[in-house]
Chains A and B, each alone.
Chain A
């Protein structure tokens, strides 16, 4: 037989990536360690429609009740559940009063991760920015059904620029500042609390030939998590620039990368490595302290890279772009781990970091297949308003049930069993077929579960996840958690949150959940401690 080269893809760690394309489709790709880490498309949400082309996307990647915001070309912003793709809320065009011009598309979208203190947990805050520079922050309450959209307060709107096109818009990790840049717009930083511009970059001087390159920023990112003063911007004339607000207005450092415009820049968690992708499909990692190229990600990638995402836990990045492939790369070896053909030009990729397949796989292995619990709700987004309503109603109920369980079920064995089954349920929600399985569950379950069954099947990701995290824990962690809880209790009176969960509970859940990922307190919302 003729020799053919096969693409060696060693397989990636378990992960779940969500990609968005020009036909408005949202595709979920999952890799499971059980199947050798081969990434596969597991779900597709939405129908192909060019007017629903996804322009920007942002995910609130929290453990409980994650949210996904998607900006469409038609001007609609949709809030979805990244777990099963349910449409939670559809916001119309930002400014109906203004002239809705065709070319004033949304350039940037950010879904705030931190909760504003006075709002409930079901509300969320969104920052949108159009290419003309119209920026809006609005907080909305996710309604009981997707039909009614309620803005709880008037959106704060301001104009970032007078001329030019905004192409990149990025909010820093603490979500206090936002940077804007674009064609004809120098990078500027705005304070989101006061809506004032606090800093503007200065264009670099003419070069030795007296040639001035026009300003055209195509991508930007903040460098480290706790410092909003340093950021990296990529320009259309293939230059990557490092800015330091505290040092000077001109770039601290700049270097050229290849010969096509830089289209995507993403920072690494370590704060000094960045990943840059350009218009001809070259992807490289650079140490930004020295400006030295660490290495290129070599693969047969030939289409412009539109988006790069860094996985929060695994040493893995994902890139996607005009060649319609989602590629997953290892950071250390810069080797291609997996490539998935997704048929359309892709615009964005995000990771759902709380996808844990080992637990799912293990529990599945221990359970006979008939016992897999499956969410009864269909997966499609638009028509499923009634189930969402149900879910909202049941949420409080199920929570109380949950508390009851804690009292009554002292034996840890039962809890683990439950969590396993819930894991199965969660897994089932990823697959579309599963109504049969759910039925069989009601039959198979023991008496106690039968009584809980109908309510629980309606419980959605939030509750599922919360319960799952209530696993037996090591004592040291418990002590630690107790300590944190105590501190929080002291401060509790000053900042009471009107949430479905009390803060105590959330902290408990989160820290316990973190135990699952090793002793790691990074997920704790420590901002409340201060």
Chain B
């Protein structure tokens, strides 16, 4: 506290009462001083450091108290105090009325009527045509090569100089169920176009963070089995539709023997693509020392795991992130297309608004 200030306070007590009051807010009789009120930098920074230190100690004290409570509860065998859930952007997302509800009969009726129902009900076998944009370079075809291993029953066709509409017609005639176009710009794949056939929607994704199969460290080599598919967090009606579009690329009867899984994980409207092999193993505890046999072979030749079972993952195949930019009604038609959803800049006014 500067003497100068005090002196001024005393001095200008009667003519500037308002000014002094702003500087010292009376909070239960205790004057509180904010660092921003002090003009002298040395004193201001000193006060700031003091306040910060107080804050830190209080935080540490709280954490210690919580820890003590927890350890006591553990000792006494009581229930642990409830853990606080951190506020994230996802769990404070804006309320969305389009989120699918499990008891919505209209939703199921709509599902039965939509373009993917024939594929998803295993009436048609998914068959995918893959192609690139007109001018492609190494990374584009490399991604396609990887995707061919991921998606069963996929065929690569050279793009040549064909129009995409002609390719769509061709694929329709050859009874493909989807067309995937990998778009490259500056020798880097940057967009993915998924077209449902014969009249399904066209989804346009932005593609980023691509890591190819060969660039992954310790990558596994997938077998040729039909993969399992994991679709996470496609909650809204739009997300549901996109999820069904993705689902229709893969066969509906996965071979669990292959132990390979393809994941599309949606988080904050970004769809993360991962491809893994997995294996169930029992954890090697230090007590067992690995001496005991962890696997038992039953009479019918099946191996049963004992102990605590964990799943180990090995990543294989490409890794990339998708972001939906538009979903178009009908097959690819940039000029006369009708959009079901387009990303518009005015939608980006809140960080907590998600569409998938």
Contact = CB atoms under 8 A, between A and B. Distances in A.
A520 B352 CA distance: 49
Nearest to A339: B97
Contact of B340 (A216, A300, A323): A323
A215 interface: no
Contacts of A303: 339-342
B15 interface: no
B337 interface: yes
A261 interface: yes
A298 B346 contact: yes
B297 interface: no
A25 B94 CA distance: 29
B349 interface: yes
Interface residues of A, number: 31
A280 B110 CA distance: 22
9 contacts: A2-B87, A4-B350, A23-B109, A25-B106, A48-B106, A303-B340, A303-B342, A344-B106, A345-B340
Contacts of B291: none
Nearest to A282: B344
A355 to B, nearest CB: 24
A300 B329 contact: no
Interface string A308-324: 00000000000000111
A49 B337 CA distance: 25
Interface in A191-240: 216, 236-237
A343 B107 contact: yes
B98 interface: yes
B341 A5 contact: no
A263 B352 CA distance: 31
B339 A280 contact: yes
Interface in B91-138: 92, 94-95, 97-98, 104-107, 109-110, 112-113
Contacts of B237: 324, 343
Contact of B113 (A50, A263, A324): A50
Contact of A260 (B104, B339, B346): B339
Contacts, number: 86
Contacts of B353: 5
A481 B342 CA distance: 54
Contacts of A489: none
Contacts of A324: 98, 237
B336 A5 contact: no
Interface in B237-274: 237
Interface in A1-26: 1-2, 4-5, 22-23, 25
Contacts of B217: none
Contact of A300 (B95, B336, B347, B352): B347
A24 to B, nearest CB: 10
Q: How large is the interface on B (under 10, 10 to 19, 20 to 34, 35 or more residues)?
A: 20 to 34
B335 interface: yes
A280 B109 CA distance: 26
Contact of B110 (A261, A263, A300, A344): A344
Given A2-B87, A48-B109, A300-B347, A343 B104 contact: yes
A341 B236 CA distance: 12
B353 to A, nearest CB: 8
Contacts of B169: none
Contacts of A260: 337-339
A238 B112 CA distance: 33
Given A302-B341, A304-B340, A343-B104, 12 more contacts: A2-B92, A5-B350, A48-B110, A50-B113, A261-B335, A279-B336, A302-B347, A303-B339, A303-B342, A304-B339, A343-B237, A344-B110
A76 to B, nearest CB: 17
Contacts of B336: 216, 236-237, 261, 279
A345 B105 CA distance: 15
A281 interface: yes
A341 B350 contact: no
Interface of B: 87, 92, 94-95, 97-98, 104-107, 109-110, 112-113, 237, 329, 335-344, 346-347, 349-350, 352-353
A236 B333 CA distance: 12
B106 A302 contact: no
A304 B201 CA distance: 13
A524 B342 CA distance: 45
A4 B94 CA distance: 6
Nearest to A1: B92
Contacts of A48: 105-106, 109-110, 113
A22 B106 CA distance: 11
A416 B95 CA distance: 45
A23 B110 contact: yes
Contact of A23 (B106, B337, B339, B341): B106
Contacts of B338: 260-261, 263, 279, 304, 322
Given A236-B336, A341-B97, A341-B98, A2 B352 contact: yes
A250 B164 CA distance: 34
Contacts of B343: 302
Contacts of B87: 2
Contacts of B335: 236-237, 261
B339 to A, nearest CB: 5
Contacts of A216: 336
Contacts of B92: 1-2, 4
Nearest to B335: A237
A25 B347 CA distance: 29
Interface string A322-354: 111000000000000000010111000000000
Given A322-B338, A341-B97, A5 B106 contact: no
A279 B337 contact: yes
A23 B350 CA distance: 33
Contacts of B350: 4-5
A304 B347 CA distance: 16
A260 B342 CA distance: 12
10 tightest A-B contacts by CB? A48-B109, A50-B113, A304-B338, A279-B338, A322-B340, A2-B92, A280-B339, A5-B350, A341-B97, A236-B336
A302 B107 contact: no
Nearest to B113: A50
Contact of A281 (B95, B105, B342): B342
Contacts of B340: 303-304, 322-323, 345
Most buried by B among A280, A281, A302, A322: A302
A303 B94 CA distance: 20
Nearest to A306: B338
B342 A280 contact: yes
A52 to B, nearest CB: 10
A302 B105 contact: no
A4 B352 contact: yes
B104 A302 contact: no
Nearest to A300: B347
Most buried by B among A22, A48, A49: A48
Contacts of A22: 113
A163 B212 CA distance: 51
B98 to A, nearest CB: 6
Given A280-B342, A302-B344, A322-B329, A5 B94 contact: yes
Nearest to A344: B110
Nearest to B353: A5
